[in-house]
Every structure is written in C-alpha cells, then in structure tokens.
Structure 1
C-alpha cells in the first residue's frame, strides 16, 4: 500500500461582460447564471506530483492547452507529462486557442478570446493550486463506483436505411420526430473514482459522456447541468472534494430528452446527480498500489481536402465579406495545420485497480467503449476534450456516413492509430480490438 497526499484547488474562470462565447459563434457574455470554474487535484508522494484539472470552458486548444499544462506543472513542481487538463465543454463558455487568436488579430477579424483574461485565469488557477499544496490530506485507498444515468445521453447521429446520417440530434432538439428515435449507442454509466484515507473519503472524481448543454446562445454564462450536478453533490458532502470530467461525447448529446426548455436544465442536473449519488452508494475501496503515468505522443496529421488547406483558410480568414463564424473556424483550422506535426498527447494514469485514460479532441463514444472492452478487469475512466486542436475525432466509418461531426474533424481518419495507442496505454492485458466490437454491436435501447 502506498501512502500519498492530495491537494485540491478551485478558481473562478468566468469570462467578463462582452467576452466571446463558443469562439464568437454565439451571443457574447451579457450575464451569468452561475460561475465557470477550474477544478483540480494534485496527487503527491507516489513519484513526481500528478495534476488533474477540469475547466468549465468549451475548448482549450493547441498552444493554449500546452500553456495551461506547463503552468500547472511548474506550480506543482512536476513535469508537463504528468499534468492532465480537460475542458468540460459547456457552450456558454469560452474557446481558448492562442494561435488562432493571433491569426484573427493579424487579419482584423472579430476576436475569439481576450488573451489578458486567459492569462488572469491561468494565474488565479496556479495560485489556487499552490495554496492547495499547503494543506494536503493523506490518502491510501482508491474507490470505484458505478451509477447508471437514465434519460440523459443519446447518440446524435441518426442513420437512414443506406447507412448515411439522416438527422443530427443536437443538445436541444426541437423536433419530436427526431427526439423519438432510439437512444442509439451510448455509455449510460457514470463512473466515480475516489481517494480515501482509511474509511474517510477525501476526493470524488466523476466521469460521464454527454455534451453538457441544456440550452445556450443566450449570453448567460453557465456550467450547465453537469457543473450544477457537481455543485449539488458538493453541497451534500462538503468534506469530499468533487470533480467532473466529460467522457467521449463527440457524438453524444441530451437531445432525445431535451427540447431546450429552460426547466430541463434542472431536470438533467438531477439525473446526473442521481448517477453520482448511486455510484457513491456502491463504491468499493482498495489500497493504492501504484500511481504510474504513461504517455504516448500521437501524430494525427492534417486533412488534404481543399476546405482544410492552408491556402483556402488563409483566404477565408482574410476575407472581410466572410461571416465572423467562418473566419474564426478558418483560424482554428490554420492553428491546427500549423501546429508542429499535429502531435498530441494521449495518456493514462494507472492506479492499480483503476485507470484514467486521457484523450484529445471530441472523441466519439466508440473509443470510450473500446477502452472499457479492452480491460474488463479494470475500472477504466475516460476523459476526452484534452487538447481540442484536432476538433472531432470520429470513427473511420463516420467519415463515410456523413453528418456534421466529420466536417469539424481537422485530422483524417485515425481510428487504427488511436485504438492501438489506447491498447498500449492500458497495459499488456489490453488486446487491440476493432470497432465495431462484439460487446457493443447491439444498440442500447
């Protein structure tokens, strides 16, 4: 058994009035329903410190993601490879891409990010982390628990008889016809990983896969139903620090159960909260036997189609006649295309009885299910929305099916590369499998 310590930290990273939301694609900040936070922990005493941090932002991409990881690493006296930063992916929230913002400024387009605000958020969070290091708590056990979440997640890609996307079930789906299609392939399980000192719980970290929006675009900042569920759980147990990460939700929304009515935010919050509470009721603890970080650098590459080319996107971002949204998207594409070899980190924190897999972009649910299929002997938690630079990460088949997500995938099909990387990270017992895989061929009803 290892005897370790954990420090916790929270910082307010809410944007100011007038700040762009979702990269400037929707109404900017006009008010706040509830704050956005950076929430994290530092694990110490089992090798160099390990940092887990969840941001109530839409995305954090490329150099912005690296800058956060490096700053937290410096504050925690560790290396960047041992720092995991993920967005929760709410949409009434900022997108941070420093290189894209430089491109936007150089072309006199509408700003997507106030860099001064970005730096202030990073400073507040590093200061909060340092303060957390001064009051760490001992931990020697890891807890694992499952809770089924009912009537939240649904697959947003609805196919026709020819296997092509016919409808996209968005987070708020107005059409009853589209809502009434089956849930499709999802992961209905919320996983709670916890750290304990003997019989005393200290930290609970929740993982669930869905786009976390009930409604957005009204300029009112909110951590939305997943953030609100975390806070409700925190109020239940003030002595147990609560965190939440979004899993592989690239093709998952609450659209089947949400028409965008404002009352649904509270309903969805309570369904996530119940999943958290149920996972806690069945939590089983075991000694922390290891705290090993494994990292693979993966080259995802850039797409070759005209709409992803440097020439085309340089033209679009410079064209004052193009819309604000198109110019911003062009800048995001350019930032990814100009990134060094389009390399991202895929990583795993191995705790013995449990492993945390950290993925970039908006990965499809199939990657989460594949990871769990590889290691049925382990409690496998998956956080996506790390480095958001590559955009969506669909399955290979999704590119031929069409639909919205492949148009927002800045890298070509990489399913085989990602599956082999996940298999390597999860250890020698993890077989490399092929999507679709046997266990999940039957759709959830």
Structure 2
C-alpha cells in the first residue's frame, strides 16, 4: 500500500530547460583573437498579484514578500538573447507565447532567442492566456487567472528589458562556480523491496518514518554562472534542482525558500541575482521539511549558504561575443493515452463537476489541441 505525505505538487507544462545557458555560452576559451565585446544588461520588475487576485490555489490575502520577474539580455555578434525567470507557479500556452513575444519585440530579437522560466512557487499566480479564453466561455476564468495583471507584468518587463539593453555593460570575463547544498533536496518517491513505490514524500512530510528514508538520487550541487567587467561582477545566475515549496495555501504571495535565498545573496553581494530551478520532478525538500513555517527560513539559509560557497569558488576566464552562440530545437512529445479530446470536452461542459476538475480539463484540452495542430 502506498503511503502519502501532504502537499501534492504537479509540474505539468511548467519547467523550461535552462541548461541551454551552457549552450548559449560556448565558452571553451581561450579567446583566439580580439572580438566584439559581449555585453549584459539586467532587469527586474515586481510580479506580485493584487489582493483578491488568484494565486495557484487560493485568492491573494496579502503579499508576504514581493514576487519578481527578472532576467538579463545578452548582446553580442548576433541578435540579443533574453533569459527571464518569474516567481510564478507556471506560465503556459498563450501566456508563454505572449511573454516571449513581448520581450523579443522590446530588444529586437527572435522569439526563439527568449527563454522563459518559472520558479514554480505555489503561493504564486498561474498564467495561461489560452486556457483563460476557453474558461471565459464558462465563467470560470477569473477563479484561476488574472490576465490583466499578467499582461501588465509582460508590459513592464518588456519596457525593463529594453532599458536593460540600452544600459548593458561590457563583459570581459565569465565566472563559474559550484557547491553542494546540504539537507534540502531529496527524492519524493521511495521504492520498496519489490522495486515499486512504497512511500511518497512530497513537499512537506509530517511522517517521521517517511522522512527517515534515504535521500535518494539527486543533484546536490548549486551551479553558478557570473558575468564580469574585469573585476566588477555584473550579474549572477544560479541553478539548483528541487521543488521550491516549504508550505503553501496561506493566501500570502511569496517566493518561498529559493527566492528568499536568492534575495539574501543579492543583498549580500550587491550583484543582480537570477535563480532558476533545475528539473525537480522527483525532487523536493520532504526529507528535511515537516511543513512547519519556521522551517522555510532554515531551508532558505541552507540554499543561500550553498550559493555563497559557489560564489566563493568562482573561477574566471576571458570571454567575448565570439564565444557565445544560441541554438534551439523544436520538439513534440507524444500525448499521454488518457488525454482524450472528446472526454476532456465532456468534462469541461459538465456543470455538475467541481470547478477545479473543469479547469483541469480545460488546461488539458488546450494542450491536446496544440499537439493535434502540430504546434511545437
């Protein structure tokens, strides 16, 4: 029999692969000859919802700590590249397209050269303009999405990235660092002797028996990329693989422990800091988190300490615009067998179904129709 801990988390249509930064920077130097300088500009706008606006699961009662939409623009020999990270649970379908189109237009680049990421905090908004339009026909959209707010964030982020491009600074060196983070990430699925899932250890796990199980297979390292103008740091990117929730459904918008760690490091260094969650499907803080509110700061401090040690381990090397490239590949993954268009439409039309069930059906229906239309 499977045993579950509370706070189920779903990652469908959320994660954007930010390992592409390693591809974006083909930084196997030394640099052979003088080239155009690489330049970087940073931007950061408030992405907090208004009181009453829907978070992922509840209306906003307060903003405990501001949410941000932040990123950078890289300028070199080719069209600009934009990397953007948002403190929301997810940005999907038409929302993702609108975000990328807005940022791309602001800096005069192709949409394919804009990468958009959400940190997946749960006391944070959702954004899906396509599903919002589907639900509007049933009067359900405002329970889930605040599209005017999302469009306002897109507008302000687009203006901010345009300013960042105009104010971009020369980059002479790239700095890389890494460090292990202790007692944060752990596997969610615990296998029994038969190789099948025996326990599930979600975001917060109050059962000491399940918390005592082994950490499992994780990537314990926080990876850090930094941009420098000689000895002056201009921007820092960090990556750490875990679900980012400590506890949620409080009605208080907040960036949770990864955002707290990021903010603490930015304050400590004075350097703009952009954090990306690594792939965390089977990874969360459950082994180290009983869901008590005071544990959020404990997790944040552990992540911040790993970020500090990664910062202190930085090794710098020269870089120029000639060392940077960007590639993208369009993909279309097969649909899961249970995603049946007719069945989903029937569920959406059924007024006897709970609103949450109909909202889920609408979201799945949008995904199915995109797939059937050949969208990649």
Q: Which residue in the other structure is 1:20 paired with?
A: 54
Deviation string 1:397-422 (CA, Å, 9 cap, x unpaired) is xxxxxxxxxxxxxxxxxxxxxxxxxx
* Selected match of 1:202 from 215, 234, 237: 234
Gaps of 5+ in 2: 1-30
Inter-partner Cα distance in structure 2 for 1:14 and 1:214:
19
Stretches of 4+ aligned residues off by more than 4 angstroms: 340-345
Q: Higher mean Cα deviation, 335-344 or 293-302? A: 335-344
CA contact (8 A) 1:210 1:254 kept: yes
Matched, 1:328 2:359: yes
TM-score normalised by length of structure 1: 0.74
Q: Which residue in the other structure is 1:7 paired with?
A: 41
Q: Which residue in the other structure is 2:249 paired with?
A: 217
Inter-partner Cα distance in structure 2 for 1:285 and 1:203:
13
Q: Which residue in the other structure is 2:203 paired with?
A: 171
Inter-partner Cα distance in structure 1 for 2:356 and 2:334:
24
CA contact (8 A) 2:76 2:324 kept: no
Matched, 1:278 2:309: yes
How far off is 1:161 after superposition? Answer: 2.1
Q: Which residue in the other structure is 1:156 paired with?
A: 188
Inter-partner Cα distance in structure 2 for 1:210 and 1:227:
13
**Aligned positions of 1:173-192 closer than 5 A:** 173-192=205-224
CA contact (8 A) 2:258 2:303 kept: yes
TM-score normalised by length of structure 2: 0.87
Give the aligned length: 339
The CA RMSD measured in Å over matched residues stands at: 1.5
Q: Secondary structure at the match of 1:54?
A: strand
Gaps of 5+ in 1: 346-445
Deviation string 1:238-285 (CA, Å, 9 cap, x unpaired) is 1x2111000011111101000110111111111010111000111001
CA 1:343–1:212 in structure 2 vs 1: closer, same or farther (change >3 Å)?
Answer: farther
Inter-partner Cα distance in structure 2 for 1:10 and 1:55:
10
Q: Which residue in the other structure is 1:66 paired with?
A: 97
Inter-partner Cα distance in structure 2 for 1:172 and 1:328:
25
CA contact (8 A) 2:67 2:253 kept: yes
How far off is 1:168 after superposition? Answer: 1.6
Q: Which residue in the other structure is 1:356 paired with?
A: none
Deviation string 1:181-239 (CA, Å, 9 cap, x unpaired) is 1111110000000111122211110000011111100111000110111110011111x
Deviation string 1:90-124 (CA, Å, 9 cap, x unpaired) is 00011111111122121233531121111111011
CA contact (8 A) 1:299 1:341 kept: no
Larger RCO: 1 or 2 (CA < 8 Å, sep 6+)? 2
